[in-house]
Amino acid sequence: MKPLFTVHAGEYLVGSHIEAHYPKWNVWVPSKDTGVDLLVTNARNTRTVSLQVKFSKDFTPTHRTDFLQMKLMATGWWTHQEEKIRKSRADFWVFVLPSFTEHQTCFIVIPPAELLRRLRRIHGKAEKRIHSYLSVTKSKRCWETRGLPNADQELLAFDRFTNKDRDFTPFLDGWEQVERRMK
């Protein structure tokens, strides 16, 4: 066990969210890096859910139209290695996306197999890294927007864009998946 205790900002925000909204759950920090950042257990410690946490600062595009910027709550940028997602031992990956203009934090909670399936459908099979942008609109929609043409991004701002693989809305603040596992 390493003698120095550290958690990164995303882990702190996830742990704080869980403690505030699920006071009967316990949050644990593993003593070594196994690809699981947090363990969550029920009050009796008889059920466990493992989380891999990914944090991004807000990258809301300032080079887009004012209208699009006004409609976006936050945009995050992550780089992934396909093999790490495929071999992940975590039950869920949690993407932490704080909005600096709205002073809110969005959480995208998704099983790693579903994440990989969607990223492959959107970006193809990656040889090295997969770059991913997740954008959350103020109307509470979440989209994978990397490589999305400008016209489609404008449709996104009007809530008229559709693409089932790019639509991550079912996973936005998707804590009910964890709740089901904890029952």
- What is the model's pLDDT at position 139? 94
Element of type H or E holding 70: helix 66-71
pLDDT at 70: 82
pLDDT at residue number 5: 60
The pLDDT assigned to 60 comes to 75
Q: Taking the chain, what is the end-to-end CA distance rounded to the nearest angstrom?
A: 31
Tell me how crowded residue 25 is: count the other CB atoms within 10 A of its CB.
Answer: 17
Q: Which two tokens stand for residue 179?
A: 């709740």
Helix (H) or strand (E) holding 121: helix 112-123
Q: Is the dihedral of CA 100, 102, 104, 107 positive or negative?
A: negative
Residue 56: the pLDDT is: 95
pLDDT attached to residue 3:
47
**Nearest 10 degrees: Cα torsion 171, 142, 134, 67:** -170
Q: What is the pLDDT of residue 140?
A: 95
- Count of CB atoms situated within 10 Å of the CB of 68: 19
CB 74 within 8 A of CB 98: yes
3-state secondary structure of 40: strand
pLDDT at 14: 98
User: How does DSSP classify residue 125?
Assistant: -
Query: Where are the chain's structural domains?
Result: 9-182
pLDDT average per 10 residues of sequence, the chain (183 residues): 70 97 96 92 96 92 69 92 95 95 93 97 86 94 93 89 97 97 93
Provide φ and ψ at 181, rounded to 5°.
Answer: -70, -25
CA–CA separation, 166 and 145 (whole Å): 7
Q: What is the pTM of this model?
A: 0.93
Strand residue runs (E) in 21-166: 26-28, 38-41, 48-55, 72-80, 92-99, 104-110, 130-137, 142-144
